[in-house]
Amino acid sequence: LFKATQNGETVYQLWIASADRQEGAMHVFKDVKIEVKYGDHAPFMCELANSIEKAIKYVPRENKDRMVMLREYIKAFKSGSIDCHKNSQRNWVYDKGPPVETNIGFIESYRDPFGVRGEFEGFVAVVNRAQSEKFQSLVDNATKFISMLPWNSDFEKDEFLRPDFTSLDVLCFASSGIPAGINIPNYDDIRQEEGFKNVSLGNVLSAQPPAKPITFLAEEDQALFKEWQGRSFEVQVAIHELLGHGSGKLLKEGNDGALNFDKDKVKHPFTGKSIETFYKSGETWDGKFGAESSSYEECRAESVGIFLSCVPEILALFGHTASTEEVSDVTYVNWLIMVRAGLLSLEYFTPENSKWRQAHMQARYAILRVLLEAGEGLVSISRKEEEVVISLDRSKILSVGRKAMAAFLEKLNVYKATADVEEGIRMYKHYTSVPEDMLELRNIVLAKKEPRKIFVQGVTCLTSDGQVDFKEFEATPYGMINSFKERYSADGPLGSLVQHLQHCGQFPPVNN
């Protein structure tokens, strides 16, 4: 979105990424002129559509869903049509259990201050069959585990739409950051009515930088944290993606005016009265909750993760033994990861405008505040000059901790389900506000800030005999530079686009 001047008038130009430079249109909204233009990043979108066209011949004829998905991708990237991209995502959901998984488009809105515009990403990954069996067992028992969440069935989907849940080893992930897990598509109407897919990125989860002391943890927690960090996070990601993002119902009105709940029978759990707020026809979750929607939903999913990580039956699916009376190492470290992450999240808060710059980090900070508020010594932060240690009382997780998370989770889910923007945002802003004592801790967090983890990715290219060659690079800054040099060299796989890179991000984008 760009601001321009035409004939002395201010015009906002909304550029659509598309291969075709088709004629746009002028709209007027509240006396503001908005011009929709096509052809942003045209050379890249054209190459993307052409490459997908070449891939179609390798799709088995009997796999109609994958074939339709690729054809809808081509139409979407040529025309810039969101409807075509939505069709591609529908068929991606229908395509169950492919050996090679891929998804492409403007997907995540975390980096947009308004939480609306999607950042482009694309990945190709190979399914890890053995690891995927664990996740499939979680899917098989999902209805039972979702019933353990702290809200009644009126606020849960009428039917759990069984997703594909696989563990993938990433071959290439093109975006500004690589997640540990994914739950997409993000089109909420598709998620609610047709389903979604869960993906755990195994070789991202297991990638660890060289060993060194873990900041802000007590000495007695260091060894246990390092031993269980990877396995605890695996459980958290699985629950977060499947049972977190996959749970919860939106109470809404259909296009025909009918409600998807019985207004005479369903009562609000906090007031005991009838439901007064719900999604009107055409309204969406992110449209109602705006810029806070991404972080709010991540907080809900993260909360589900630590809440259900105490359930022995779930831990058993991942090969861990636990009981209902005591906290296992895998659960303790999972909660410890969360409270430490909440402290580290302060790095992503900007005091000058009281804004958070990262949705997941804002969500983890909120959880830390909830657990601190629970009191009874569950979580404590001790400070001695410039040294800070965060501690978690293992003996109080099942009592104090779970009780606090249950109350918080129910509010998160009910406010979302009932489109109660006023109460939902009020509560979320309370837990994500940063008081003076936390601002002081932020200064220490920044002083001890560690370099961001960098993933070095390989490059694929076709050999002279038509075979695919995969070139790897060492996990060093030198390897990172060489991987980009290889990818964007004149004779590399993206050589034809090198000349266009200089125009990226420039306005007006007529040459990119």
- Enumerate the active-site residues: 241
Note every long-range contact of 130-134, with CB atoms under 8 Å and residues 24 or more positions apart, other chains counting: 131/167, 131/200, 131/202, 132/165, 132/166, 132/167, 134/167, 134/238, 134/317, 134/318, 134/319
- Cα separation of 139 and 273, whole Å? 34
**Short-list 143, 297, 305, 296, CA closest to 239:** 305
The torsion angles phi and psi of 40, rounded to 5 degrees, stand at -65, 135
- Burial state string for 411-430 with b = 16 or more CB within 10 A and e = fewer than 16: bbbbbbbbbbbeebbebbee
**Short-list 249, 355, 359, 342, CA closest to 294:** 359
**Short-list 129, 138, 165, CA closest to 313:** 138
Contact 16, 1 (CB under 8 A): no
Amino acid 100 reads V
- Cα separation of 306 and 336, whole Å? 10
Contact 196, 190 (CB under 8 A): yes
Burial class (CB in 10 A: 0-12, 13-18, 19+), 236: buried
- DSSP H helices, 9-128, are 42-55, 64-79, 82-94
State the residue for tokens 């944290």: 225
The tokens for 140 are 């098989």
